[in-house]
Amino acid sequence: MKLVFYTLAVSMAPVVELRGAIPMAVAAGMDIWKAYIIAVLGNMIPVPFIIIFIRSIFKWMRTKSPRLNRLVSRMEAKADSKAATVQKYEKLGLFILVAIPLPGTGAWTGALVAAMMDMRLRAAVPMILLGVMAAGIIVSMIVLGVVSI
């Protein structure tokens, strides 16, 4: 049960997300499919909250200190740099952004980009979920390949 909680928590964390949760869980002895399901669920938990609340949070952060203002500016710049792909391919672009399991991509970045582009939850969440599922499959395949060697 402790491993389930750790897997869920790691998959919810920004940057690490399921790219770190699945290998961690499998290395600790969890079945790959169980790790995949828990990591996908955990990775999706913050998504609606990010899409709904991030603009208000950023606005509040900007008023608290120059350091937080700079952090918000960097995060918005990151979202803007990724937004070009999403704007070009629309929903498919959001899926691609989330599905590629590399640093700077993932559910957190996808949700941030969706929020900055004023995408509705109804449009963004399914694409982010499909992207998270695809990234989870890619990571699982890599983990299975490493384990089999």
What does the pLDDT look like over 27-38, one tens digit per residue?
999 999 999 999
* pTM, 2 dp: 0.90
* Percent helix / strand / coil, the chain, rounded to 5: 85, 0, 15
Q: Residue 122: which domain range?
A: 2-148
Query: What torsion, rounded to 10 degrees, do the Cα atoms 12, 22, 1, 45 define?
Result: 20
Does the pLDDT of residue 147 top 70, yes or no? no
* The token pair that represents 38 in the structure block: 């828990």
What does the pLDDT look like over 20-68, one tens digit per residue?
999 999 999 999 999 999 999 999 999 999 999 999 999 999 999 999 9
- Number of domains, the chain: 1
Residue type, 133: M
What distance in Å separates the CA atoms of residue 77 and residue 91, rounded to the nearest whole number? 20
Q: How many residues does the chain have?
A: 149
User: What is the per-residue pLDDT for 1?
Assistant: 87
- In the chain, what percentage of residues exceed pLDDT 70? 98
User: What is the per-residue pLDDT for 149?
Assistant: 56
- Which of 118, 134, 137, 117 is CA-nearest to residue 126? 134
pLDDT confidence tier of residue 75, bands split at 50, 70 and 90: confident
What does the pLDDT look like over 76-128, one tens digit per residue?
888 888 787 778 888 899 999 999 988 888 999 999 999 999 899 999 999 99
